[in-house]
Structure 1
Amino acid sequence: MSSPWIAGLRSVELFVPDLARAEAFYTQTWHLEVAHRSDDALYLRGSGTDDHLLALRRGGEVPQIRQVTLRARSREALDAVRANVVKAGGRILAEAHELTRNPAGGIGIKFQDPHGRTFQVVHGDARRQESAPVQDRPIRLTHVVLNSHAVDETQKFLQDALGFRLADRTGIMAFMNCDRDHHTIAIGISDNDALNHIAFLMPDFESVMRGGGRMRDAGFPIQWGPGRHGPGNNLFNYFIDPFGVVIEYTADVEQIDERYEAHGPDYWKWPPGRVDQWGISPPPSDTLKAAQKRVFFAPNP
């Protein structure tokens, strides 16, 4: 592990314009399962141990990201994060409290980083019994990519406030590590602070490919992929959901420890015409690149 306080990514919460349409897509096409529901919210789970990995709330005409939820290693880690967030220039939105309004429960704190991104860190939330992965169904979230107009500042905040370390840096992204997954948060080098994409871990290569075919059959073409990334070594297929949120099926994410050596942009370069290790996929579509800059954090969490 690299972070003494953060064990991994638990869930992402979004505001969406149409909750019924979101449920149909994310259950029937994306293959998640309803864990809980209320009049204005839907909580969706994968086949893994997280109570839910995607929370959807009824919102306005455009999608927004409400918060990214991370899991703390201990109750004491929440206090350490709270103190470090303040030192690093963040703003505490909610002190440690019982999460009675969240179906997974636990104790959590909420804060914003200096650029207005909202994070929640929880401990003691409900977990499901571990079971074998189900082919063609997401297991859990493996990472979220957040754009930054000031990537060095964002990287420093994640390091100072949450104990992340830099795993690798390319010409377009900084990959931040907290545990065994190569990266849990990546920072997209951009001119804005939008949500770049959310990555769902699939059991295997077959599931990533079958998911691509199922999405295409449903009218959601592959926007980038199939391929294998450099940093993280993971398989990928990228899509855009019905509201414009970029989502990824991935598998075979590299597992690292303190012996892993970080590399810079000069190391992660492909031969001309390639955009991944395999070299069979065309570059990301213009539609995808535009969508990766359109979903912003809600201003009033």
Structure 2
Amino acid sequence: MTSPWIEGLRSVALNVPDLVKAEQFYVNIWHLEVAHRKENAIYLRGSGGDDHLLALYAGSEVPQVRQVTLRARSAEALVKVSEAVERAGGSIVTPVGPLTKNPAGGTGVTVRDPHGRIFQVVHGDARHEPQPPVKDIPIRLTHAVLNSHAVDETQAFIEQAFGFRLADRTGIMAFMNCDRDHHTIAIGITDNDALNHIAFLMPDMESVMRGGGRMKDAGFPIQWGPGRHGPGNNLFNYFIDPFGIVIEYTADVEQIDDSYVPRGPSDWKWPEGRYDQWGISQPPGAPLKEAQRRVFFAS
């Protein structure tokens, strides 16, 4: 089950209130590594081949999403995406061309969906030699979840503009697939268009659990988890970063192909009082739910 144009999620770019504090948190506690540094930005990588997973920029007091960056399968796919975006009701922010301001380089196109979300699609960007998976260190991003007040419209745009397919839909989320990971973008079904969360793939269950302990020791308690999701079958621990951005450690994400049969809300109902497959996780609390409504795309 693959998009003809998109192979996965490369990175997410955010405006944060305090770049020094952000570096201290994401390097010392979250366990990313500085790949590049500019006067007003840092670019953080994991152990995988992506040049960076997070681009953090000095911004206003309120964190914002600058863009979500997807990786194209080919240079030709950038042209196809450009054409498809406009047919799907979106607009081109920056046409296909060299990405001279981004340290990863490559060629890309930046687009806006009908509700103001910014996506960049890149090809030919720099990559690192992947390290062997290292316990406690994120490998890459596995998915970003974006809230939508109009889920059917958002789903249609992602399908038409990027060639994604619906993997599963629950009562609260539509899971969109482009390659082997069960979902790369998911759409939170709600009344706003905020960033729901960003998920970082860890090497194994041990790393997800040890990460939870490390975050707790640093004063960032687990907001939801540990547990195992239904759609995607992945392990999870959710946290709120120092600025109110929701981030997830995950592992063991289900790998699917064209034989996978999408299921609907009636197929994904837990028994009363259960919030994950195992039945051990408490429900997500008010602080997490509030944080999932606070961080919007920069206008």
TM-score by length of 1: 0.99
Corresponding residue for residue 44 of structure 1: 44
1:232-270 CA-partner distances (Å, limit 9, x unpaired): 000000000000000000000000000000000000000
Q: Structure 2: how far apart are the matches of 1:227 and 1:139?
A: 20
Correspondence for 1:17: 17
1:123-162 equivalence runs, <5 A: 123-162=123-162
Say whether residues 1:114 and 2:114 are aligned partners: yes
SS in 2 for 1:236: strand
Distance 2:166 2:172 in 1: 14
- How do 1:212-291 residues align onto structure 2 when only pairs under 5 Å count? 212-291=212-291
2:102 and 2:158 mapped to 1: Cα distance? Answer: 25
Q: Report the Cα offset of residue 129 of structure 1.
A: 1.1
Aligned residue number for residue 53 of structure 1: 53
* SS, match of residue 211 in structure 1: helix
Tell me how many residue pairs correspond in the alignment: 299
Counterpart of 1:155, as a letter, is Q
Separation (CA, whole Å) in 1 of partners of 2:260 and 2:147: 25
Aligned counterparts, 1:13-92, within 5 A: 13-92=13-92
Which amino acid is 2:46 matched to? G
- The answer on 1:165 being equivalent to 2:162 is no
Structure 2 residue identity aligned to 1:182: H
CA positional deviation for 1:131? 2.6
CA apart distance, 1:2 = 1.8
Q: Secondary structure at the match of 2:265?
A: coil
Query: How many angstroms apart in 1 are the aligned matches of 2:42 and 2:126?
Result: 17
**Which 5+ residue runs of structure 2 have no aligned equivalent?**
none
CA shift, 1:130, in A, is 2.5
Counterpart CA distance in 2 for 1:131 and 1:61 is 36
Whole-angstrom distance in 1 between the partners of 2:69 and 2:143:
11
Question: Aligned with 1:130: secondary structure?
Answer: coil
Q: Give secondary structure in 1 for the equivalent of 2:267.
A: coil
Secondary structure of the corresponding residue to residue 266 of structure 1: helix
Q: Deviations over 1:169-213 (max 9, x none)?
A: 000000000000000000000100000000000000000000000
Q: Which deviates further from its counterpart, 122-131 or 282-291?
A: 122-131
TM-score when scaled to structure 2? 1.00
**2:206 partner letter:** E
Letter in 2 for 1:277: Q
- The residue identity in structure 2 corresponding to 1:113 is D
> Shift of residue 285 of structure 1?
1.0
Which AA in structure 2 matches 1:253? V
Query: 1:98-131, CA deviations, whole angstroms, 9 ceiling, x for partnerless residues?
Result: 1111110000000100000000000000011123
Task: Give the counterpart letter for 1:39 in structure 2.
Answer: E
Distance 2:145 2:41 in 1: 23
The alignment partner of 2:161 has SS state of: helix
Is the counterpart of residue 196 in structure 1 residue 199 in structure 2? no
| CA distance, structure 1, for counterparts of residue 270 and residue 192 of structure 2 | 26
Aligned with 2:157: secondary structure? Answer: helix
